[in-house]
Structures are given as structure tokens and as C-alpha cells.
Amino acid sequence: MNATVPRPIILVIEDDDHIATVIEFMLQREGLVAERIADGRTAAARIATGPAPALVLMDIMLPYRDGYELVEQLREQPGWERVPVIMLSAKSQEKDIVRALDKGANDHIVKPFQPRELMARIQRLLRSGG
């Protein structure tokens, strides 16, 4: 990748350290930068005060504040309205994903996930810009 072009930052909000590490590794291999956050409270503060990333990858079940609240918050945050959001959910939460899409998420991935599928969805949303 050209050194003068900044690499897109992907905000990974996931409390499972192992899954976050796997995702971070995959993003790095694709030339993307992962910014990791492990709980809903820190994520809420990051959304309120930090610059918008290129994409948000977020678990639904998080400590302190869940993914639904965070999607709602980030859609109301100036500059974040059009940031693509992919929700990560466990198989048992599949029915809840409709709620996340209603709140403003763009896509969802079920855990356990297929690495190629995850990267394809991220690239598609990055190309379309949300």
C-alpha cells in the first residue's frame, strides 16, 4: 500500500479478546488498521469524542452498553451518520439482528464466522462508503 495514503481505520468493538485478536490480524493482512475497544462504555466515549473511522465492527453483547445502544448513539453523532456498521452476533442471537438493522446497522455476521466472508463484507462496505 502507498505510504502516503492513510490506511482505513476499522473500529473493532468486541469484548472477547481472542476474537478481537483474530479480527485484528485479518484486518492487518488486508492493509487495514484495527482500533480495538473491549466494552460498551469506552466505545460510547470514543464515539462521542473521537473521529469517525472508516467502518465499525461491533459485537451485540458488550459490557456496560450493548451494541443496539451504540448503533443508535453513533447514528446521532455528527460525522458518524454514514459510517458502515457490521454487527457480530452469536448464532442464538440471530433473531435479534433485525433490531440492530432497524437501529441503523448495515450488515451482520454470525459467530463463529468465515474469515473470507467477513473480509468480503468489510471490503464491500468500504467500497460503497456505507
Quote the CA–CA distance of 52 and 37 in Å, as a whole number: 14
Q: Pick from 8, 22, 99, 126 the residue near other proteins by CB under 8 A.
A: 22
Within a 10 A sphere around the Cβ of 2, how many other Cβ atoms? 6
**Binding-site member from 98, 117, 123, 129 for other proteins (CB under 8 A):** 117
Using CB under 8 A as the binding rule, whether residue 114 contacts other proteins is answered as yes
Between residues 32 and 83, which has the closer beta carbon with respect to other proteins?
A: 32
Instruction: State the Cα–Cα distance between residues 122 and 1, nearest whole angstrom.
Output: 18
| Interacting residue with other proteins among 6, 115, 129, 130 (CB under 8 A) | 115
The owner of cell 458488550 is 62
Bridge-based pairing of strands 55-59 and 9-13 is: parallel
Q: Which is nearer to other proteins, 91 or 95 (CB)?
A: 91
Residues near other proteins (CB under 8 A) are 18-19, 21-22, 25-26, 29, 91, 111-117
